[in-house]
């Protein structure tokens, strides 16, 4: 196995979803959730503002090239299920120009997750893991739900490689948008202190000591 191939396999493992916490109060009665709003037709480009405790990140979702993944993200936005989530992880890659890595956020309560979505590989969408890209975290392809990452640098090794014999490398991860404003806020999250003890396996040494809270995520008009 070449050093490059080993690095790509390791990178894919590092990018996987950490295990979700078990639901609290599992023995209590389950209350019926209120009806969800009717979905809004997906536009080619949708802009959202993600307000965090460290500032606002403005994002453009690519509904034209990654319609399944973008619509899934908006489902969480429109039902306000992203309100109160946290950025819990900052992956620092030691090689290349710095900053090199990504930050990861998501909905840690499995009771509030929607069903997993079909995988949209970059070989199909034509998108790529460039600096500022939004990418869905997952375990196996087709398991992505609500966890996502924002890249601080180009990490094209996460793109799909149809020629790869390893199934994970062949499928890669799904890019579905990019940051248009607020990369300074993303950098602040990435620079936040890391816990030396939190996380299991490859996640240890990547979990934020004090997760950064996302206050709200809302649609906003796309500038003409």
The answer, yes or no, to whether residue 19 has pLDDT greater than 50, is no
Alpha carbons 65 and 78: distance in angstroms, whole number:
20
SS3 category, 156: helix
Distance CA 164, CA 162 (A): 6
pLDDT at 187 exceeding the cut of 80: yes
Q: What does the pLDDT look like over 98-145, one tens digit per residue?
A: 999 999 999 989 999 999 999 999 999 999 999 999 999 999 999 999
Q: What's the pLDDT score for residue 13?
A: 54
Residue 191 placed within a domain: yes
Report the 3 state secondary structure along 90-133: EEECCCCCCCCEEEEEECCCHHHCCCCCCCCCHHHHCCCCCCCE
Strands 55-62 and 45-52: what pairing? antiparallel
Compute CA distances 153 → 32, 81, 106, whole Å. 43, 28, 20
Lowest mean pLDDT among 47-51, 95-99, 130-134, 156-160: 95-99
pLDDT of residue 184: 98
CATH code for position 191: 2.40.100.10
User: What are the tokens at 126?
Assistant: 């034509």
Count of domains for the chain: 1
Q: Which ranges of the chain does DSSP label H, i.e. alpha helix? A: 3-14, 67-78, 122-125, 167-171, 183-191
In a domain, 27, yes or no: no
Question: Residue 147 falls within a domain, yes or no?
Answer: yes
| pLDDT of 18 above 90 | no
Using pLDDT thresholds of 50, 70 and 90, give the confidence band for residue 1. low
In a domain, 12, yes or no: yes
- Model confidence, pTM: 0.86
Q: Which residue has the tokens 């959202």?
A: 48
Radius of gyration of the chain (CA): 17
For residue 147, give the 3-state DSSP assignment: coil
Residue 147 has pLDDT above 70, yes or no: yes
pLDDT at 154 over 80: yes
224 found inside a domain: no
> Looking at residues 81-90, what average pLDDT do you find?
98
The answer on pLDDT for 81 being more than 50 is yes
pLDDT at 202: 80
Sign of the dihedral defined by the CA atoms of residues 128, 134, 139, 140, in that order? negative
Asked if the model's pLDDT at residue 14 lies above 90, the reply is no
H helices then E strands: how many in the chain?
A: 5, 8
Determine contact, residues 61/46, Cβ cutoff 8 Å: yes
pLDDT single digits (tens) 161-174: 999 999 889 999 99
Could you tell me if residue 26 is inside a domain? no
Cβ contacts of residue 90 below 8 Å, gap of 6+? 101, 102, 103, 104, 189, 190, 191, 192, 194, 206, 208
Per-residue confidence at 204, pLDDT binned at 50, 70, 90?
A: confident
Q: Domain residues for 202?
A: 3-17+46-219
pLDDT band at 31 (very low <50, low <70, confident <90, very high): low
């Amino acid at each position: 196995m070449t050093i490059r191939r080993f690095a790509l396999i390791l990178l894919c493992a590092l990018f996987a979803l950490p295990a979700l916490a078990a639901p609290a109060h599992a023995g209590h009665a389950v209350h019926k959730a209120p009806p969800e709003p009717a979905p809004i037709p997906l536009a080619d480009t949708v802009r959202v503002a993600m307000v965090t405790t460290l500032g606002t990140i403005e994002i453009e979702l690519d509904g034209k090239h990654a319609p399944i993944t973008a619509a899934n993200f908006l489902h969480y936005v429109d039902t306000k299920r992203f309100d109160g989530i946290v950025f819990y992880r900052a992956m620092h890659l030691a090689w290349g120009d710095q900053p090199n890595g990504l930050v990861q956020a998501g909905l840690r309560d499995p009771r509030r997750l929607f069903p997993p979505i079909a995988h949209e590989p970059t070989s199909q969408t034509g998108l790529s893991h460039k600096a500022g890209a939004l990418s869905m975290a997952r375990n196996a392809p087709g398991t992505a739900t609500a966890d996502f990452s924002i890249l601080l640098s180009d990490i094209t090794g996460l793109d799909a490689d149809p020629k790869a014999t390893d199934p994970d490398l062949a499928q890669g991860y799904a890019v579905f948008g990019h940051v248009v404003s607020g990369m300074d806020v993303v950098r602040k999250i990435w620079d936040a202190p890391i816990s030396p003890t939190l996380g299991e396996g490859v996640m240890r040494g990547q979990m934020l000591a004090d997760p950064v809270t996302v206050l709200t995520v809302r649609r906003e008009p796309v500038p003409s």
